[in-house]
Amino acid sequence: MSEHQRDTSVPGSVDPGTVLEEWRALLATGEHLHAPDIARRLGVSEAALLAARAGTGAVRLSVDPIRVLAPLADCGRVLCAFANECGVHMPLGDVSVTAGIDGVLRISGSHMSAEIDDGAVAEIFLFEDHDPNHGNTRSLQFFSSTGAPVFKTFVFHKSRFDALRRHCHELANEDQSRVPRPLAATPGFDPLAVSLNNDANAQHIPGSAYQETISSFLGDGGAFEIEAVCRHARVTWHGTISGARFDRGMLHLHETDLRSHLRLAPLAIAHRTAKGGLSLGISASGSSERRLRIGVEN
C-alpha cells in the first residue's frame, strides 16, 4: 500500500514514526502548508497526523466535548475553525460553551453562534506546536470517526492556555498510543445540511460570474452575516466586512473577528435570493446542499 493509500481504519497500517519523519521533511521545504495539506500529502487522516505527535505536542483526551471545553469561556479571545468543501471559516472572539439536551454543543459569542453534533466527535486532542509558517499554536482539535476535523479552537492567551492545559491533562485518555485508533466509517448523511432549494424566487448565477457577483455583492462592505454548514456543524458569523480579496481562485475575508477562505472551484451552484442574500453551494449525491450563505443583515 503506497503512502498515499494508507488505511487508517486498520490498526498498525500507519507507522507514526514514518508519518512524523515525513511531516518534518515537508515543513523543512519552507512551503506554507496547513494540517489538511500535510495530511493529504502523507495520505493519512488529520487525526492520524496528530496521533503521531502523541507525547511530543499532542495529548489524546477523553471523548467528552463539553467537559473538555468547559474552561473555554475563561480563555479570552479564541479562534474557532470550521471547514467544509468550500473552504475554512474562522470566527475570532470571546465565546461561551453550553450543552443542549438535544445532543448539540453550542458555542456562542457576540460575533458568532455555532451548533456542533457532539455525538460525531470520536477523538479529541490538545495540541501545542511550532512551525516556521505559523509560530506557536495552542489548540483543541475534535475529529469524527473518519479522522476528519469536526472543528478546532485555537487559544492565543498563553497564561490562560496554561490553565486550560492543566484542565485537559486531568482529562487525558488512558490511550496515548501514537498509532491512530481503528475508526469506523461515518454514516453518509448530513443532519445539519440545508437545501439551496428553499427559495423559489432565487436567481441562478453562472459559474463564470461567481467572482464578479461576489465582488459586486460585497461592494464597499457593511454589515453581513455568513453561515457555513459543515458535515457535523453549523456556524454563523455576523459583523462588518470591509472588503474582499480574490487570489488564485480563492475569496479571502480578513476582519477583526473573522478569517474566511472560500475556494470557488468546488462551487456548483450560486443563487441570489429574493431577500437580497447570496447563497453559494456545491453538488453532492445529486442534491444541492447550502455550504455558505452570505446575507446582508437587516
- Predicted local confidence at residue 13, as pLDDT: 65
Element (H, E) at 139: strand 135-143
Least-confidence region, from 4-18, 88-102, 134-148, 168-182: 4-18
* Side-chain-side CA neighbours of residue 139 (13 Å): 21
Higher pLDDT, 244 or 4: 244
- Examine the pLDDT at 286 and tell me if it is beyond 50: no
Least-confidence region, from 45-54, 175-184, 197-206: 197-206
Please, what CATH class does the domain formed by 3-169 belong to?
A: alpha beta
- Predicted local confidence at residue 64, as pLDDT: 94
For range 208-230, the mean pLDDT: 84
Q: How confident is the model at residue 290 (pLDDT cuts 50, 70, 90)?
A: low
CATH fold label, 194-296: Heme iron utilization protein-like fold (3.40.1570)
Q: How confident is the model at residue 193 (pLDDT cuts 50, 70, 90)?
A: very low
For range 235-247, the mean pLDDT: 90
Report phi then psi at 74, rounded to 5.
Answer: -95, 5
For range 220-229, the mean pLDDT: 85
Least-confidence region, from 18-27, 93-102, 207-216: 207-216
User: To the nearest whole number, what is the mean pLDDT of the chain?
Assistant: 83
Helix, strand, or coil (residue 14): coil
- Predicted local confidence at residue 110, as pLDDT: 96
CATH topology match: 3-169 vs 194-296: yes
Q: What does each C-alpha distance from 220 to 82, 215, 223, 225, 283 come to in angstroms?
A: 26, 9, 10, 15, 30
- Residue 140 bridge partners (DSSP): 126, 153
Question: d(Cα 244, Cα 220) in Å, to the nearest integer?
Answer: 9
Domain residue spans of the chain: 3-169, 194-296
Question: d(Cα 275, Cα 138) in Å, to the nearest integer?
Answer: 40
Distance of CA 95 to the CA centre of its chain: 16
Element (H, E) at 99: strand 96-99
- Predicted local confidence at residue 94, as pLDDT: 98
Q: How confident is the model at residue 199 (pLDDT cuts 50, 70, 90)?
A: low
Pairing of strands 87-93, 78-84: antiparallel
Distance of CA 284 to the CA centre of its chain: 19
- Examine the pLDDT at 190 and tell me if it is beyond 60: no
- Examine the pLDDT at 296 and tell me if it is beyond 70: no
For range 12-29, the mean pLDDT: 87
